Structure formats: C-alpha cells, structure tokens
Structure 1
Amino acid sequence: MKEILNEHFTGERALFHETELRIRSSVFDDSESPLKHCRYIDISDCTFNWSYPVWYCEFIRMKDSTIGENGRAGIWYVDDIKAENTVIEAPKCIRHSKGISLKNVTFTNGEESLWKCANIRIDKVRAKGDYFAMDCDGMEVTGLELDGNNSFDGVRNVTVRNSVINGRDAFWNSENIIIYDSVISGLYFCWNSRNVTLVNCTVETLQGMCYTENLVLKNCKLPNTSLAFEYSTVNADILGSIDSIINPSGGIIKADSIGEIIMDGERVDASRTKIICGGK
C-alpha cells in the first residue's frame, strides 16, 4: 500500500480514482472532491477543508481526522467506511451510504447528516443538529448523545442502547425500533410508527407516542409526560406516575398513578383499553 505523508493537496479531484493508499498527517485544502471513486484508502490525522471530500468510494478507514466546516456533504455514496476519533464540523455528512461504523465521532453541526443509509453501527457518538439519521435501515446505536429536532425520521430496524436523545419529533414514521436504558426528552416523541419497544427508559414528552401501532414500554419512567398515547395501541408498564393519557386505541396501561385519563367515547372505544393504577 502506497503511503502519503505530510502532504498539502489543492486542486479539484486531488486523488481521483486512487486505490490502496495510506494517507497520514495531510491537509486537503481549497478544492472539491479530493477523494472520488477511490478504493481501499486508510486515512489518519488528516484534515479536509472543502466540499465533497469522500464520494463514490469503497473501503475507507478514517481515524483521528477532521472534516472542517466547509467540508459540506462530506461522505456520500460510500460503501464500507469506518471512522474513529474523528470530528465532523460540516452539515449534510454521510448520505446514501452503507456499511458504516462510527466510533468516538463528534458531529458539531450534524444537521441533515446520516440520511438514507444502511447497515450502520454507532458507538459513543456525539451529535448536535436537526434531522439527524433520516430514512436509514439497520442501525445498532450505543452511547449516542444527540441534541436536535426531527431525529431518526423514517428509520427501520434500529436498536438503541445507553443513549441520550434531546429534541422534538424523534422517531417519527419509524418501524421495528427497540430502545434500551436510554433517556429521551422532547415534544411529540414517536408518532406514526410501528413496532416500537422501550425497555428501562426515561421519557419526558408532551403528546408523545401517538398514532403508533404496537407500542411496548417495559419498566419505563415517564416524568413530565402528558397527553400520551393518542390513537396508539399500547402495552405499557410505567414505573411511577404519568401526568395524563388521551384516547389510546387499545391495549393495557399500567402505572403507579395517572394524573388524568381522557377517553372521548366519540373518538375511541374505551373498552379496548385496560388501565391499571397502583396495581388495581
């Protein structure tokens, strides 16, 4: 494998169509698409300062590197990429890609990043920005810290563990979701979704978990949560209290206490939902 060390690249498509390179301690500066149609590229301690740094590539390894704030649309149409100990400062990074592994990666402006991707592993990632992770299929997420609205919209086949997700409208239009040991805070959590399970989670939300089919909560806490479960089918085992629930479509809801139960007979058939408070 050819090694490139301490280089400063300028000019469009600086390493176009290159194969089997080990790039160390180098800077890709003020021109577009430095790595395009490349294969088997090992990147370490590098900086990308302009748009479209990694496109139409395969088998990319990136470590201890930075995609700067002008490196917009940084990683698109890539098959098999692993990034570790890397900072991504630009929005709209990682789209239309598959075989993605991110470990100790920070998205300082993760707006509209990780879209329409498949086969994704996330481990100890921190991200800030709206519309993170949209229309993805097959995600294993551990230790994510996310601040941003409209995250995980339209995702499928996702497992989340030990994560903190802050922001409104998370997990809309999603399917086959399991979330373990996590904290989720934000208005309108999880609407229009199917087959969503939360285990040992804490959720704070207004009008959350509505219009969802087959919603399961096991040993979950719902502090400061009100007007939940509207038009949802739900099997919920809630530790402690919930402020209010409104018009669930059916199922079983257990809680130590419920501040208010709103069941509008003109909207739902109340007999289809069993509500148990304090074990009674």
Structure 2
Amino acid sequence: MEIISNSEFGGERPLFASRHLHLINVTIHPGESALKECSDIIAEECRFEGKYPFWHVDGFIIRKCLFTPGARAALWYSSGLEMTDTRVEAPKMFREMHRLNLTRVVIPDAQETLWHCSDVRMREVEVHGADYLFMHSSDIDIESYRHQGNYSFQYCRNVEIRNAAIDSKDAFWNTEDVTVRDSTLRGEYLGWHSRRLRLVNCHISGTQPLCYAHDLVLENCTFDTDADLAFEGSTLKADIRGCVTSIKNPTFGHIIADNIGELIIDENIHSPADCKIEIRK
C-alpha cells in the first residue's frame, strides 16, 4: 500500500482512481472529487475542505478526520466504509451508500444526511440539525445514539435502535419493521402511518403520537403529560406504565395502562372500532 503523509492537495481530482492508498495527515483543499472512483483507501488524521472527495469509492477507512463545511456531499455512491473518531461538519453526507460502519462520529449539521443507504451500523454517534435524516434507508443497526432534528427515519425499513435519545418531530413516518429499545423519543406526531413499529422500554413525549399506525407494539413504555391524543386510527398492542394523558379513537387491538386521563371515542372512529382498552388492576 502506498503511503502519502504530511501533504496537501487541491483542485480537480488530484487522487482520481487511486488504489491501495494510505493517507496520513493530508489536507484536501477546496476543489472537487479528490478521491473519486478509488478503492482500498485509508485516511487518518486528514482534513477535507473540498467538495465531493469520496464518490464511487469501494472499501475505505476514515479515522480521526475532519470534514469541514466546504466538503459538502463528501461521501456518495460508495460502499464498504468504516469511519471512527471523526467530526463531520459538511452537510448532506452519505447518499446511496452500502455497508457503512460509523463509530464515535459527530455530525453537527446532519440535514439531509444518510439518504437511500443500506446495511448501516452506528455506535456512539451524535447528530444535530438532522432534518430528514435517513430518508428511504434500510437494514440499520444503531446503539448509543443522540439525535436532534425533525422528520427523521421516514420511509425506512428494518431498523433496530437501542439506548437512544431522539428529539425529532414526525419521526418514523411510513416506516416498516422498526424496533426501538431503552430510548427516549421526544417530538410531535411520532410514528404516523408506520407498519410494525415496536417500542420497548421507551419514554414518549409530544402531542398526537403513534396515529394511523398498523400493527404497532408498545412494551413497558411511559408517556409524558404532553403526549396526548394518542393512537388515533391505529391497530396496536400496547402496555403502558403510568398514565397516558388521552387516547383517541384507536381502531383495533388491546391497550392496557396504569391510568388514562381521558378516553375519546366518537363518531369519527374507523372500523372495526373494537379496540379493548383497560386500566391495570
């Protein structure tokens, strides 16, 4: 493997189509597509300032690097990424990628990040400003995760999340086969139109959660006082610990809670309108 250390590059495609390359303490100055169409790349303690540095790359390791805001859309159309101990300040990262493994990564501007990605593993990752994160992505495994940003995980499939704090309006809309465990979910309109969303040992806050959901499952979950008008139009099986402020027009299934502040069943309920609702004795 060729080693390039303590060097600087700029302009258009300075390392285009490189193979078996190890970069150490290298700065990529403004320009475009520095490492486009490369394979078997290692970058350690590098700084990326130019646009689109890693496009159409197959097999690469990024350690202790910095992507500045100028390195926008840095990783697209690529596969086989391992990224550790890295700060990503550049917007719109990770598009149409396969096999991503992110560990101890911070993304302070994560808007429109991780679109159309598959086979994603994340550990100890923190994202902010993450509006529309993970659109249309699948096969995702996340643990020890901190998230701030709205409209997250929309249209995702096959997702497992553990030990997370997610602050996101409209999270998990139109998802399929998502499980969230031991986590805090904060934001309005959680999980609307989802299919087979499962929440285990989670705390939920924000108005009108979990409406129009199909085959929703809650196990040992708690609700904040602002989580009102829950479950409208949903089919579900829910075990709620503590009090839920209000439940409105669930369609089918079974709900058991320690206490229900208000139960609203009116003429607008959808058929079959036979959800069993009970207070735990």
- Do Structure 1 and Structure 2 share a fold, with TM-score over 0.5? yes
SS at structure 2 position matched to 1:10? strand
Pairwise CA distance, 1:200: 0.6
CA–CA distance in structure 2, aligned partners of residues 61 and 268 of structure 1: 52
Amino acid at match of 2:256: K
Gaps of 5+ in 1: none
Is the Cα–Cα contact under 8 Å of residues 30 and 49 in structure 1 kept in the other structure? yes
Aligned 8 A contact 2:249 2:268 in 1: no
1:164 corresponds to? 165
Look up the match of 1:267. 269
Matches within 5 A, 1:24-39: 24-39=24-39
Question: Equivalent residue for 1:123?
Answer: 123
Segments of 4+ moved more than 6 angstroms:
none
AA in 2 matched with 1:202: H
8 Å contact kept, 2:251–2:273: no
Give the counterpart letter for 2:266 in structure 1. Answer: D
Contact 2:250/2:269 (8 A) holds in 1: no
**Residue 23 of structure 2 corresponds to which residue in structure 1?**
23
Match of 1:53 in 2: 53
One-letter amino acid of the counterpart of residue 7, structure 2: E
Q: Distance in 2 between matches of 1:13 and 1:65?
A: 19
The answer to whether the Cα contact below 8 Å between 1:118 and 1:137 also exists between their aligned partners in 2 is yes
Return the alpha-carbon distance in structure 2 between the equivalents of residues 193 and 69 of structure 1.
34
Deviation at 1:79, TM superposition (A): 1.0
Q: Does 2:257 align with 1:250?
A: no
- Distance of 2:190 and 2:91 partners within structure 1: 24
Report how far residue 53 of structure 1 moved. Answer: 1.1
| Alignment partners' CA distance in 2, 1:89 and 1:131 | 17
Please show how residues 96-245 of structure 1 align to structure 2 within 5 Å: 96-129=96-129, 130-224=131-225, 225-245=227-247
Structure 1 residue 268: deviation in Å?
2.9
SS in structure 2 of the partner of residue 140 of structure 1: strand
Query: Alpha-carbon deviations, 1:216-267, whole Å to 9, x = none?
Result: 0000001121001010001000000000011111111111111111111343
Which residue of 269, 275, 278 maps to 1:276? 278
Q: Distance in 2 between matches of 1:256 and 1:50?
A: 56
Matched length = 279
Normalised by the length of structure 1, the TM-score is 0.98
SS at 1:144's partner residue? strand
The Cα shift of 1:213 comes to: 0.3
Once superposed, what is the RMSD of the aligned Cα atoms? 1.0
| Aligned residues with identical type, % of pairs | 37
Find the aligned partners of 2:16 and 2:228 in 1 and give their Cα distance: 55
Listed one character per residue, the Cα deviations across residues 15-65 of structure 1 (whole Å, up to 9, x for unaligned) are 000000010001000101101000000110001001101100000100000
